[in-house]
Structure 1
Amino acid sequence: MRYSPTTMIDISKIKAISLDLDDTLWPVWPTIGRAEAVLQAWLSDHAPGTAALSADLALKQAIRAEVNARHTDRAHDLSFLRLQSIRAVLQQAGDPVDLAEAAFEVFFAERQRVDLFDDALPALGFWSAKYPIVALSNGNADVHRVGIGQYFHASVSAQSLGVAKPDLRIFVAGAAAAGVQPHEVLHIGDDAHADCVGALAAGMQVAWLNREGHEWTHGETRPHLVVRDLHALCARWPEYTL
């Protein structure tokens, strides 16, 4: 990776941390893949016709795209869109649409079973002893159901607020939930656009968790720090030890 020099974070100004979840604390797509498989198995038992349609990936994607297009005002609410997609497949298959809620709950429960990156718990334990941490996510993971709620002061999601990152309002809400001003927050996330561009616009200090070594392609304004893992970020605090 080649980056232009960035302004390093100023730890003395940090009074709270806002933290992305998916692909920051755990890899999201293996989680979604398992949840899809559990949902498919449940449908095979309870709605075989729907299961058969759902096995056609192209058809399922087309239905999801149609649902998304019909509900552009709910683009921030992944749970709503998932439920509507399940309902649409049930309807197309001729199965009872009132199975949609139970089917969604099967998916959603499995969606909360995540495999944390090795650096996640040490970082959460270290930071939560020093600052209020606010989860700031466009996804629908629940830190309490995931099993890490004890580290978080609050959670702000696109679903709960009605706007998604990089919208300035979700970052302002995250700072407010921590009881501080945006410039007193260090935001940490993996998504260069949603996390970094949005948090920088809000006036936060920003650490880009760039595990895959992507190039920065979002203009001259850059994150204050780029790290490959959370250990490297925590190491900016002299007292941090593994």
Structure 2
Amino acid sequence: MLGDVLLINDQHKSAAGAILERVLLDIEQLRKNQPGEKFVVAISGESGAGKSELSHSLALLLKGRGIRVKILHTDNYYRVHPLQRREHRIQSNFEAVGVQEYDWEQLHRNIGDFRQGRSVSIPCIDIITEEVDQLFTDFSKIQLLIIDGLYAIRTEGVDLRVFIDLTYHDTKLSQMLRAKEPTDGYRWSVLEREHQHVRSLKPLADLHVDRDFRVFDPAIVRHAPRPWQRRAAHAVTPAG
């Protein structure tokens, strides 16, 4: 989103370093069988959890490794125009809030454009004007796509899914500092509805990020660590 404010700190950078190790390992395995294949990472979490900060930090680390990266923010894919969204949600008694608010067909089409290396226009919401601009993007040289958003890990065709395990109750300060939307009664009603939808996606994740921004694989956390877990400075090492 154009005009968004990022509050990046050392925790985001450290967690991104842990995720980077996993991404590089998965890319190595993927390209043994499919040389040149492109890779997609999705990062989900509630409002203010640090999705955009983590995505940006990861993208910079990948860029440092010579990997061309593009971030797609799912907030650019709302079906209802920004200037009409508040009224639409209130009229539905907030039942409209959730995964159904997004144009998944267009998002999946743009992921396909990335896979095929096409040059296309993608939506980009300007936070200041609250208008939907069109951003011309050449995917031909982009090797890795990061999808950042509340429900990003439910996107089809994703290679690695990351879930930030923080709720909107944990992130009120971050939300007020970023000031993407007014923090009034309407906003808290929206956050509660989003909370219910986002939490339901947690089982889809390949990696979890806890409230201390430690990164771990939920499937193997009690077993022998994979190589990426041994190397990554901020990854959780299984006990016992």
Q: Same fold by TM-score, threshold 0.5 exceeded?
A: no
Q: Which has the higher contact order (CA 8 A, sep 6+)?
A: 2
If the length of structure 2 is used for normalisation, what is the TM-score? Answer: 0.32
Q: Which has the higher helix share?
A: 1
